[in-house]
Structure 1
């Protein structure tokens, strides 16, 4: 679940990134994956672990998600809570540690150089979310439900199901190794969340 050989961990990360970007495109403008941050021009970062590379990138950006006109940046991390480095700390502390690592890497730079907001989206390999990720997807569900005129409970149920299956498929890929499957695309523009949830017996 943590071995980077074969690129399976990267595939796991990219699936969640692409799913998040596709949902953001339904409610925001100027959505992009792997956007490059503005280069530094002598600015001093608060933390020594800040990413100061000129070609630094985050996973997703969208304009107007938190504040109208402001660009929001999100970076995803999926960690294995059973890894040796997390065995001596509680799960909540592991989520917080990973969120703080991301904030120290990008938060100060995005706030002061790109003049945007930054949200770390932290998941466990089994589907758990960090506090900031829960708040982000809750906000995303609110906006999607309002725009699509769909019950919020069904949008939330659909979203949780999609994220859980994305992580589950990726976990199986990491455990079993390579296995080809044709790439799938999601047509969210015409999706009826309520009908999808009811037809597939997804718990609300």
Structure 2
């Protein structure tokens, strides 16, 4: 689950990135994946661990998510909570540490140079979300519900299931090392979340949707 040999960890990361970008395109403008940050021009960043590379990139950028007209930058991390480096910490502490590492790497640079906001999206390989990721997808469910004129609970339930299946599929890939063609992303422009849940037999009350 932690070995990068064969590129499986990258595949796991990329599937969540592409799914999130496809959902953002339903409600935001100017959505892109792997956008390059603006280069530094003498700015002094707060943290020594800040990413100062000229070609630094984050995973997703979208305009108008948190604030109208402003760009939001997102970077994804998926970690194995059973890894040896996490054994002495609670899950809450590991979530916080991973979020903080992302914020220190990109947050100040994006605020000062790109004049945008930064949100780290931290997941566990088993499907858990860190607090900032939960806030992000809760907001995304609100926006998609309004855009699609569908119940917010149905949109949030579909979103949670879709993310969970993406992480589960990727975890199986890492464990088994099976070679298969990367599935194409689902076209959600005409998706009826409520009908999809009914057809799948998924009960919203068992998903813990906030």
Give the structure-2-normalised TM-score: 0.96
- 1:147 partner SS: helix
Relative to 1, partners in 2 of residues 1:158 and 1:48: Cα closer, same or farther, differing over 3 Å?
same
After TM superposition, the structure 1 = structure 2 runs for residues 119-158 of structure 1, keeping only pairs within 5 Å, are: 119-158=119-158
Residues 105-184 of structure 1 correspond to what in structure 2 (within 5 A)? Answer: 105-181=105-181, 183-184=183-184
**What is the CA distance between 1:203 and its match in structure 2?**
1.8
Deviation of the 1:161 alpha carbon? 0.4
Partner of 2:52: 52
What's the Cα RMSD here? 0.7
Per the alignment, residue 86 of structure 2 pairs with: 86
C-alpha distance in structure 2 between counterparts of 1:120 and 1:148, whole Å:
26
Residues 35 and 59 in structure 2, CA contact (< 8 A), matched pair in contact too: yes
Distance 2:203 2:16 in 1: 21
Structure 2 unaligned blocks of 5 or more = 205-210
Deviates more, 1:184-193 or 1:124-133: 184-193
CA–CA separation in structure 2 for the residues paired with 1:184 and 1:62: 21
Aligned pairs, number: 204
Q: Is the 8 A contact 2:19 2:185 kept in 1?
A: no
1:142-201 deviations in Å (ceiling 9; x for gaps): 000001000000001100000000000000000000321452231111111110011101
Secondary structure in 2 matching 1:119: strand
**Which residue of the partner structure matches residue 76 of structure 2?**
76
Match of 1:13 in 2: 13
The runs of at least 4 aligned residues of structure 1 exceeding 6 Å deviation read: none
Distance, in Å, in 1 between the alignment partners of 2:159 and 2:185 is 15
SS of residue paired to 2:167: helix
Quote the residue 1:62 is aligned against: 62
Q: Distance in 2 between matches of 1:182 and 1:15?
A: 9
* SS of residue paired to 1:178: coil
Structure 1: 5+ residue runs without aligned partners? none
